[in-house]
Amino acid sequence: MVFASLCFYGWWNPAYLPLILGSVLFNYIIGISLSRPGEHRKTKPNTLLIIGVASNVFLLGYFKYADFFISNINSALTTKFPLLDIGLPLGISFFTFTQIAYLVDSYRGNAKEYDFLNYALFVTFFPHLLAGPIIHHKEMMPQFSNYRNKSVRYANISNGLFFFSIGLFKKVIIADPLGVWATNGFDHMQALSLIEAWATSLSYTFQLYYDFSAYTDMAIGGALFFNIKLPINFNSPYRATNIQDFWRRWHITLSRFLRDYVYIPLGGNRKGEFLTGANLMATFVIGGIWHGAGWTFIFWGFLHGVAIVIHRIWRQFDFELNQVIAWILTFNFVNLGWIFFRAREWKDAIKVIKGMFGFEGVVLPHKIESLLGGLSFQGVRFGDPLVAIGATNMIYIQLAVALGIALMFKSASQCSLKLRTSYIGMMFSAVIFFAALTYMGGASEFLYFNF
């Protein structure tokens, strides 16, 4: 399985195989040293942990942030240091975080692994390797060593096919078409009118969710073929009625990592309200930096940190908003935040936001000019309101369907509990699987491969 996973990883670019193998070997050695009894350890555990974590952060920083720091130094000091133009190895953020968690767990006495092959499988297991979920040693190794998991179990294969089919359908049928409109709006246009801007932002909001949750579903399905259960990573996040609820539902394993290995070590909520707020802000800014080398990512993390702090203060007043109003506020805040997450430059984010608030004009369809023609005196124009992003009226249906599924349908994990090996479940899996195959076109990268 380790060999197969490394072949899977090396298929993209064999040049990065030594990198992941070196990372695995280094962390395995540090982990063994941390797990040894005190009398057999030559270096203090604190020092070992600092060396291990710092080395992982340095590796990630070199590949992911070196050019970002160089460009900012050049901008601030008017220097001309050349950029390194380093390619980002697939999955480096995920296998780095996985191994940092392992080192900390080893330091705390919650993880011990003396078999290199077992550790290599824990890190490289192909379903989660490229884009998560972020896993823990203690939740995976008992499954790999379980004798029952080394035989064929048809119930798991059936359930795995269900998850995989759901993920493929979400990726090909829902996420990819929406990605076309989002790319046109963010990357190809100089200005967006009101409807174009909202269509652009909502297209990305739903593309990101269906794309990343699709990968997670396919990873869970792929792991189930081998009787391995990966942790659930999404739980209908766009149903959230406050920002804290959103982060309990969105990228659950990342939220868990940031809580256990950043927020709590910083002090959590144990040192008063002010420091709790500071710890929350620091945690979310670090989460923003982890996603990408850019000020827009940092600002996205900052926005969510501010929202979490405000929510924490709001709860102290013991005042409950109407659930519909609370959902509208939460969803629109998340949608606004994704604009900075997606934008390549500040100007792209500002362009979309200006359009959403009508600063670049309002264009309404020709069909309603006879009814609302009087608005032309207010600066409203009539024409094709979607021409800039190259969309048709079908986008309204696509967005409505994406919202409806996100709000009204159960998650794949909840559906699988009922369907499993039933004839209805098998037929459903077959239909959506072949529907996705029918619509598959050219190459389409999963969005979280970029992070």
Q: Which residues are catalytic?
A: 291
d(CA 316, CA 336): 26
CA neighbours closer than 13 Å in the CB half-sphere of residue 151: 4
| DSSP run (H or E) holding 176 | helix 176-183
Name residue 238's amino acid: Y
Q: Tokens 């959506």 belong to which residue?
A: 432
Place of tokens 């480096």: 92
Work out the end-to-end distance of the chain between its first and last CA atoms, rounded to an integer number of angstroms: 25
The b-or-e profile of 391-417 (16+ CB within 10 A means b, else e) is beeebeebbeebeebbeeeebbbebbe
Q: Within a 10 A sphere around the Cβ of 52, how many other Cβ atoms?
A: 24
Q: Which residues contact residue 393 at a Cβ distance below 8 angstroms, ignoring those fewer than 6 apart?
A: 386
Cα 314 to chain center, whole Å?
27
Contacts of 294 (CB under 8 A, 6+ apart): 68, 344
| Residues 315, 194: Cα–Cα separation, whole Å | 34
- What dihedral do alpha carbons 56, 59, 62, 68 form, nearest 10°? -40
- Look up residue 401 and give its two tokens: 């369907």
Tell me the CA distances in angstroms from 410 to 191, 251, 325, 433, one per residue in order: 37, 17, 22, 18
Where would I find the beta strands (DSSP E) of 42-92?
A: none
Residue 198 structure tokens: 């909202």
